[in-house]
Amino acid sequence: MRARYLPVVAFAGLVVAIQLATHFTDSAYHLTQLTMTAYYSLLIVGLCMLIGYAGQISLGHAGFFAIGGYLSAFLTTHNLAPHQAGALISLLSKSGLLVTRSDLYGGSLLTVHPWCACVAAAIVTVAIAYLVGGPVLKLRGHYLAMATLGFGVIVYRIVLGTEFLGAADGISDVPGFPLLPGLEIAGKSSLRVPNYYVAWGLVTLGMVLLLNLIHSRVGRALVSIHGAEDAAGAMGIPTARYKLNTFVLSAVFASLAGVLLTHYNGGIGPSEASVMKSVRYVAIVAIGGMANLWGALSMSLVLNYLSLRGYLGSFDDAVFGTILILIMLFAPDGLLRRHLFSDVKRLVTGSAADEEAP
């Protein structure tokens, strides 16, 4: 086994250890927030890939999260029964893409199957990400930050102002996401433990994927783009294409996180699309050390959990703002940057500081 996967194993061990700890201390209710944390973490590792490795900031990732979540929520709750006579609907129905289920009041609902909704959400996200990413990623610095922020605000305003997306109330009564017979992604307390493992299993899968990507030719190309884009271009790296593909990849991560969390929570509201959420994701990536997937993941675990459990109270946003400023002022490479240990060693031994490799 290569050294790259050792942390993965350690991480899986940690996940199991947390579950066992909550089991023996009789505090299994913590698992609900931990499962939600897992889905946010999925978004954050994807964003870490974009910010840390490709060097492109995005202040609009809550937008992609919301696109996934809202699409899936809308498709799986919108009743198609009145349009059943239509050719398209009956075609979809015959090909098994629709499901019939009963709603809260016993009436029957004809909706899109969650799996199809998920695939649709992913496809739409890819399309939007290519559409937005193409021109946006030509920008740099302030312009890039503002453009992605603008994208996030547009998504927020649209979900807030659109009647069939529930306006300020969002969409509720979203059904569970069936995985296997008897196992679905839903917030039922009987399924708490399996859901916890499913969620963190997905995060682990995502991590393995990204770790492999980083250590491949593509990953090295991305690091060189981050270091010096012009130089990377001169070396024959198709910088624009690599940046765009990373952007789309991280958007898909965000969108899938949105889909799954929406099914887990049984609903989604416009606050998921707000700018503050995007800023929070960037803050977590920054604390984790920008180009450090494990750092981002561990910080996401800690901070999202604290915030979801409500330990930060009404100072929630202020805490993230403060963290953001402090990190950027005193440790712009992040708290858990990759050369932390060697830096500490160098400080202790007192040898002259030489230039860090990026």
Q: Which residues bind another protein (CB under 8 A)?
A: 57, 59, 135-136, 138-143, 145-147, 149-151, 153-154, 157-158, 160-162, 167, 275-276, 279, 282-283, 286, 314-315, 317-318, 320-322, 324-325, 328-329, 332
CB nearer to another protein: pick between 191 and 323: 323
Pairwise CA distance, residues 76 & 120, whole Å: 11
**Least distance to another protein, CB of residue 65, Å:** 18
Whether the CB-CB separation of 327 and 334 falls below 8 Å is answered with: yes
357: Cα within 13 Å, side-chain hemisphere: 3
DSSP-derived secondary structure letter, 202: H
**Least distance to another protein, CB of residue 161, Å:** 3
Whether the CB-CB separation of 255 and 122 falls below 8 Å is answered with: yes
**Least distance to another protein, CB of residue 61, Å:** 14
Tell me the pairing of strands 171-172 and 267-268: antiparallel
CB nearer to another protein: pick between 146 and 234: 146
Pairwise CA distance, residues 79 & 132, whole Å: 31
Whether the CB-CB separation of 74 and 165 falls below 8 Å is answered with: yes
**Least distance to another protein, CB of residue 193, Å:** 36
Whether the CB-CB separation of 245 and 74 falls below 8 Å is answered with: no
CB nearer to another protein: pick between 166 and 176: 166
- How many Cβ atoms from other residues are within 10 Å of residue 180's Cβ? 8
CB nearer to another protein: pick between 26 and 355: 355
Q: DSSP secondary structure string, 43-61?
A: HHHHHHIIIIIS----S-H
Pairwise CA distance, residues 181 & 207, whole Å: 27
**Least distance to another protein, CB of residue 251, Å:** 16
Enumerate helices (H) and strands (E) in the chain, giving the number of each: 14, 6
CB nearer to another protein: pick between 184 and 272: 272
CB nearer to another protein: pick between 233 and 321: 321
Go through the chain and tell me how many residues it has.
Answer: 358
**Least distance to another protein, CB of residue 271, Å:** 13
Instruction: Classify the C-alpha dihedral 162-131-272-277 as positive or negative.
Output: negative
CB nearer to another protein: pick between 133 and 176: 133
Joined together, the tokens standing for residue 275 give: 């700018």
Q: How far, in Å, are 85, 99, 120, 123 from residue 91 at the CA level?
A: 10, 13, 17, 20
**Least distance to another protein, CB of residue 154, Å:** 5
**Least distance to another protein, CB of residue 51, Å:** 9
**Least distance to another protein, CB of residue 182, Å:** 42
CB nearer to another protein: pick between 173 and 356: 356
CB nearer to another protein: pick between 143 and 311: 143
